[in-house]
Amino acid sequence: MNEEDWILLGADRPVESLRVGGRVIGRGDRVRLHPRLRGDVFDLALDGRSASVESVEQDLEGHFMVSVVLDDDPGGELGTHRQPGHRFFFSPEELEPLEPTSSRTVLVAGIGNVFLGDDGFGVEVAQRLSRRPQPSGARVEDYGIRGYDLAYALMARPDQAILVDACPRGEAPGTVYVMEPDLERLDDMAAGAALPDAHDMNPLNVLRLARALGGSLGPVLVVGCEPETLGPPEGLMGLSLPVQAAVDEAVELVEELIVRYLNAETGEHSHGRDRASER
């Protein structure tokens, strides 16, 4: 490590970047963790995990520490709207800078209540996706009925949000749709309306909640499935047979959409339409 890499800064000069392994890293850059053996078993459990730099800190003796948030931290997407994800501190020698990847981000959010039969469709799809490798820039979360958490995640403005939910449209149970909400009409509907119930989780209410909290929204798609029942079938939890059979189709469809948006060269998306395409 070169001497010029380590310069004691004054209190009026915040540390914005640091040279590590021949690369300059700063907030938002991704690194791989390689903790040294120093008696902290939990740190060693993070060996090999990837993370994003949250900040670079320097104490009064000139020692640098880098604050990171794990890529798969469930609180990482909440950002500054509520609270940061769980931060961990490592010395520069414990970090391996990763090559830059696409700066685009896609949030996939499973919505639903597993106690209401086919309403658990979005949850099942999200759980399936989370067990499969996804490209960098894609975040898959099972939000269940946590309306506020999802609203704040949407307010962080991912380049593309994909909401997955059971969507009754009068078609055959198990039919999978792709829909684009009309965000301009959403503004009209939200005007003067009471704050939506965060536990009444459907895509429209979540979007209205984000608006009511003062947020702006980026592009949103809904991958929906026609339910057979929105109550426990014959007293048992779980999806009906047609909807269960549609889960694999929806997983493949969402993965196609993830790749499409991460590979997009521009942020151009169509708006002002409420469209649905049957798969």
- Say what the pTM is: 0.60
Instruction: For the domain made up of 106-278, give the CATH fold.
Output: Rossmann fold (3.40.50)
Could you tell me which CATH number the domain at 3-97 has? 2.30.30
pLDDT tier at 121, thresholds 50, 70, 90: very high
Give the E-state strand segments of the chain in sequence order: 17-20, 23-26, 30-33, 50-58, 64-70, 87-90, 95-97, 106-111, 138-144, 160-166, 176-180, 220-225, 275-278
d(CA 204, CA 206) in angstroms, rounded, equals 5
| pLDDT at residue 236, as a whole number | 57
pLDDT tens-digit map of 16-30: 778 887 788 887 788
| pLDDT at residue 269, as a whole number | 43
pLDDT tens-digit map of 170-215: 999 999 999 888 777 765 554 444 444 444 567 888 888 888 888 7
pLDDT tens-digit map of 139-180: 899 999 888 889 888 888 889 999 999 999 899 999 999 988
Q: Where are the domains of the chain?
A: 3-97, 106-278
pLDDT tens-digit map of 220-258: 999 999 999 887 656 557 899 999 999 999 999 999 999
| pLDDT at residue 233, as a whole number | 56
Q: Is the pLDDT of residue 3 over 80?
A: no
**Average pLDDT, integer, range 36-60:** 79
